[in-house]
Chain A
Amino acid sequence: MNAFIPPNLMPALPELVLLGMACLVLVVDLFLPQNKRGFTLLLALAALLATAATLWQVAPVEIMVSFNGSFVIDRLAVILKLGLLLILFLVFVYSRDFLREFGMYRGEYYALGLFAALGMMIMISAYSFLLLYLGLELLALSLYAMIAFRRDSAVASEAAMKYFVLGAMASGILLYGMSLFYGVTGTLDLARLSDVIRIQSVESPVMLSFALTFIVVGIAFKLGAVPFHMWVPDVYHGAPTSVTLFLGTAPKIAGFAMAIRLLVDGAGALQVEWGQMFVALAVASLAIGNIVAIAQTNFKRMLAYSTVSHVGFIMMGLLAGTATGYAAAMFYTLTYALTAAAAFGVLMLLSRDGREASDLADLRGLNDRHPWYAALLAIALFSMAGVPPTVGFYAKLVVVNAVIQVDMLWLAIVAVLFSVIGLFYYLRAVKVMYFDKPEEGQEFHLLDALDNRLLLSANGVSLLLLGLFPSALMAWCLTAFV
């Protein structure tokens, strides 16, 4: 009988801080009158900052494993978590005025957001199937509630319902895959799993491929790759824009981490198998995402399909199976989250006549009235389209480069072709902003506070700066994989 050895809590200290702060936010908010709601936001931001600071302090030079090998903190975890916290910081600030305007300014948004953040951080650090699943569910449950945040809105409830049902299905599929892996290998530990697979694959390769497929489907659902993307447009469209902003940015980072943990750290020996599946998913995502986006008239739906196509790019980086490929995918994920934050951030500012702006037509004549916001949105759109010198161009470049390096030139060509098609709908949005005239009497009612405006401007400018000087971030991403 072994004596109980308490786990080393240090690696998980940021998560613990976040958990404590989230609970604090929940409780404090109960006792705040509505007009003091700003304090909840401050507390939530403080939670993010405190978590980031703790993370910075405990970040180890070497890889560190705790909780009996189920929790890991390494370069990858540190970088992704920092990126995540930064994105959430932006999201929380951008959301404030929007929530206030539409009567949703309640502490639960921030509490749920913090719990979702906790779930994502656990996913990033998960080193066993169980912990990863826990993180995933924590994130998913928080998101379900956030999407349905506006209870009286039919579209929002519908979106939440759809997401919930499909998410439950995907969870089941993922869990099934995990159980199959457990059945074949006898371990839930990702580090041990990879060792076992290397030996086992010879004996029962079919079973492993079978299990792997379920895992891939689970990841594809989380990322929103075709054909597991069906929830994306409906949820993006139905959810309040502040939640879409949340949903469209941070979980992408978590999804990326999930893919790395499961497929690279765990099933790295099966790279050829899952790489092939990723090829099919990536091409389908690029094609469907870019082509269907053209037919959209709703800006949020259009961005949803655009997300699908970006997921195709992230998968392309992963399927290369090289350190540069993973780093490229990571760079892509982080910068895409930053870009999407800017795009939705601007969109949230533009509410018209008590109605949130979501149609393309709502952007008409933005340049005439608010040239600076039009420019910020244009930068974000150009970055998504991959037009130099924005960061989106460089991100696409490194991904395409990684694919070419493993002799998959055809895939690179396909990706570039679909990017060209994608250019159309991004440019159409820019055209609407700059060349179409607003209808008579249609005025923009801007929700902007100074801090929001400054942060948004910094966000937009960072897309340009990162595009011009991408090497530092790229080098940073590379350190996670060498």
Chain B
Amino acid sequence: MQNIYLAIPLASLFGAVIAGLFGRQIGRAGAHWVTILGVATSFVLSLLVLKDLLLDGGAVYNAPVYTWMVSDGIRFEVGFLIDNLTALMMVVVTGVSLMVHIYTIGYMHDDPGYQRFFSYISLFTFSMLMLVMANNFMQLFFGWEAVGLVSYLLIGFWYKKESAIYANMKAFLVNRVGDFGFLLGIATILYFTGSLDYYEVFGKTAQLVDGEIEIFSGAAWSAITVACILLFVGAMGKSAQVPLHVWLPDSMEGPTPISALIHAATMVTAGIFMVARMSPLFEYSETALSFVMVIGATTAFFMGLIGIVQNDIKRVIAYSTLSQLGYMTVALGASAYSVAIFHLMTHAFFKALLFLAAGAVIIALHHEQDMRKMGGLKKYLPITYWVSLIGTLALIGFPGSSGFFSKDSIIEAVHLSELPGAGYAYVMVLMGVFVTAFYSFRLLFLVFHGEERMDAHAREHLHEPGAVVWLPLVLLAIPSAIIGWLTIEPLLFGDFFKGVLFTLEQHDVVAEIGEEFTTPLAFMLHGLGGVAVWLAAAGFALAWYIYLRNPEIAEQAKIRFALVYRILDQKYFFDRFNEIVFAGGARLIGSLLWRVADSMLIDGLIVNGSAYLVGRASRVLRVVQTGYLNHYAFAMVAGLILLLGWAMLG
């Protein structure tokens, strides 16, 4: 099996390397074939691994494959931990990635950077696989940084576009903040347990629980709380939680397939995955769990609100992603790790679907992203419309759809949680359901229904994109619709995650839900009686009334609630704040240090000054070498006398 495990990431890496280094030689078709074959290999092998673990009863694999170095007793290794969680993530990552690869053939058809693009997304798949398959923190960190790097490269893929460069810089910098916390978290764990290996660390959790850190003298903090919160800071950066979320909406500057693959389905869920993986640590710190839950709940509701006022089709979906990531985070905070992973999976499918569908609309309208210039597209793009509808229904949690099962489980889990902050979180996630339904149908109505607002030229060229575009859409629509129904029982209440995710008995809200669970159908019917479904329905109704029945209301509301609109339109002024305080402050410090420290002291005094001194000395000393023999002899005698003097007197 070890060879298969190795082959899974390496197949993607192979494709990336070939397409990246020899892109010119193999041409466009060669680039997409080699990467698609690579990722397809990874996907098939991942399925095999999942099958081996589930059906054939294969054992959990945990072993190093390569020791990079041993320093001071700490082993730095590349190793794999393959259990059900890993296998599930592998299938999701490679599956979505494969769909995106195929879709890209159509979407990037005319782009001059075609080969580069394929190389990047394959490289991303490799990095993400290394991240999820890691059995130690070092490799986790490698994968973490590698996906961040590829994300940076891809946001700025159109590197001649000013806004894209701004966005990728922003993503990079914000992620630095998160990664710094993450690194500190790993360091804390290493400090207290002396190991980087997951299982060894989990085995020594007691040392973390008993450990105390005194950062400010007099205030001792529990080591595990510090470690978990620091790790979660990393997750906040990668999974875009408030206040480190600001990079994700801007990341939509990248090509749409990227938004689907990296900024919706996979990379941004790395934080969720990481916290779930670390569940044996997080469980022992209620403070950290509460922190996680509050941050997640805040993100879930308030980011959804911003989605309402956006006009760019991709940005609406981006804010929706933020909000859904918030839902997953809330689930983690409520100790419902399996539910978080469940929502991660369903979300990966329906969000990738929505993004790719949005991409299809964008291509059909020749890269027009403003929803105010769309409308009535239903009759031109029927396939896109129907798959978008499926995705939207899944997103709002329409009973029976995949999103319904996962989201309802989250709401139920938060409801049952007794941790501090659970009450706040419950209100937030419920209101979030209403908001989600509202902005989702607003998008659907503005784009596919109502009057046609595009110009005549665009309308003439409207037609459904080719099969490479709609086929992945259909393939993603199927799991978006049904996968929740099929997998809720084994994933949440079966023993799929047994021995993988760890929950203390007093936190085990999933088991409480499970006591009443009988069949998916019963769960659905039970959900119909809950408030969430009706909130979603209300959101739908309101969107229908405002955007289809009575469009003037939207404009009037904008004027009536000008202050609220402005706050939402400015995204709670996060960007403005960062721009002025952090960016401005950093620039100020930078320019001060540059002028005073660098230009004056280092360059002026130390570098140029010493160079000047040396050059001067060199010219002077050179004169001593006169070429006259008597001078040379004199120097020797003088040296002899000096040495003699030293020897005699010293």
Contacts and interface: CB of A to CB of B under 8 A. Distances in A.
Interface of A: 161-162, 165-166, 169-170, 173, 206, 209-210, 212-214, 216-217, 220-221, 226-228, 230-231, 233-234, 273, 276-277, 280, 288, 291-296, 421, 424
A322 B639 CA distance: 26
A217 B643 contact: yes
Contacts of B648: 206, 209-210
A89 to B, nearest CB: 33
A162 B629 contact: yes
A295 to B, nearest CB: 4
B647 A210 contact: yes
Given A209-B648, A210-B648, A276-B646, A291 B636 contact: no
Given A206-B648, A231-B632, A424-B611, 18 more contacts: A166-B632, A169-B636, A209-B647, A210-B647, A210-B648, A213-B643, A213-B644, A227-B636, A227-B638, A227-B639, A230-B625, A230-B632, A234-B627, A277-B643, A280-B646, A292-B618, A294-B614, A295-B622
B537 to A, nearest CB: 69
Residue from B617, B625, B627, B638 whose CB has the most chain A CB atoms within 10 Å: B625
Contacts of A166: 629, 632-633, 636
A187 B484 CA distance: 100
B639 A217 contact: yes
B73 interface: no
A233 B629 contact: no
A277 B645 CA distance: 11
Nearest to A420: B610
A295 B618 contact: yes
A184 B633 CA distance: 28
A222 to B, nearest CB: 12
B416 to A, nearest CB: 60
Q: Which range holds the interface residue count of chain B?
A: 20 to 34
A15 B356 CA distance: 84
Contact of B647 (A161, A165, A277, A291): A277
Contacts of A231: 632
Contacts of A216: 643
Contact of A213 (B617, B619, B622, B647): B647
22 contacts: A165-B633, A166-B633, A169-B633, A173-B636, A209-B647, A217-B643, A220-B639, A221-B636, A227-B635, A227-B636, A230-B635, A230-B636, A231-B632, A276-B646, A277-B643, A277-B647, A291-B614, A294-B615, A294-B618, A295-B618, A296-B622, A424-B611
Interface string B552-566: 000000000000000
A295 B636 contact: no
A216 B636 CA distance: 12
B621 interface: yes
Nearest to B650: A276
A230 B625 CA distance: 7
Contacts of B621: 288, 291-292, 295
B427 interface: no
Interface of B: 611, 614-615, 617-619, 621-622, 625, 627, 629, 631-633, 635-636, 638-640, 643-644, 646-648, 650
Contacts of A228: 635-636, 639
A218 to B, nearest CB: 10
Given A162-B629, A421-B614, A295 B635 contact: no
Nearest to B637: A169
Contacts of A217: 636, 639-640, 643
Contacts of B629: 161-162, 165-166
B450 to A, nearest CB: 65
Given A162-B629, A291-B618, A421-B614, A210 B635 contact: no
Name, among A277, A280, A292, the residue most crowded by chain B CB atoms within 10 Å (CB to CB). A292
Contacts of B619: 295
A212 B643 CA distance: 10
| B629, B632, B643: residue with the most chain A Cβ atoms closer than 10 Å | B643
Contacts of B644: 210, 213
A212 B648 CA distance: 11
A291 B617 contact: yes
Contacts of A161: 629
A291 B631 CA distance: 20
A280 B643 contact: yes
A288 B633 CA distance: 18
Contacts of B643: 213, 216-217, 277, 280
B641 to A, nearest CB: 9
B514 to A, nearest CB: 60
Which residue, of A162, A276, A294, has the highest number of chain B Cβ atoms within 10 A? Answer: A294
A424 B618 CA distance: 12
A209 B644 CA distance: 8
B640 to A, nearest CB: 5
B465 to A, nearest CB: 51
Q: Which 3 A-B pairs have the closest CB atoms?
A: A230-B632, A227-B639, A295-B618
Given A166-B632, A169-B633, A214 B640 contact: yes
A294 B620 CA distance: 12
Contacts of A165: 629, 633
B636 A170 contact: yes
Most buried by B among A161, A206, A227: A227
A213 B640 contact: yes
B625 A292 contact: yes
A162 B640 contact: no
A231 B627 CA distance: 9
A354 B116 CA distance: 52
B633 to A, nearest CB: 6
Contacts of A170: 636
A231 B631 CA distance: 11
A44 B633 CA distance: 36
B623 to A, nearest CB: 10
B266 to A, nearest CB: 39
Contacts of A291: 614, 617-618, 621
Contacts of B627: 234
A209 B648 CA distance: 7
Given A234-B627, A291-B617, A294-B614, A162 B647 contact: no
A233 B625 contact: yes
A277 B614 contact: no
A213 B643 CA distance: 7
A209 B643 CA distance: 10
Contacts of A210: 644, 647-648
A169 B639 CA distance: 13
Nearest to B626: A230
B195 to A, nearest CB: 30
B5 to A, nearest CB: 32
B622 A173 contact: no
A302 to B, nearest CB: 11
Nearest to A234: B627
A173 B640 contact: yes
A206 B639 CA distance: 19
A400 B633 CA distance: 32
A324 B147 CA distance: 47
Contacts of A424: 611, 614
Nearest to A206: B648
B179 to A, nearest CB: 29
A228 B641 CA distance: 12
Given A162-B629, A166-B632, A214-B640, A292 B622 contact: yes
Nearest to A227: B639
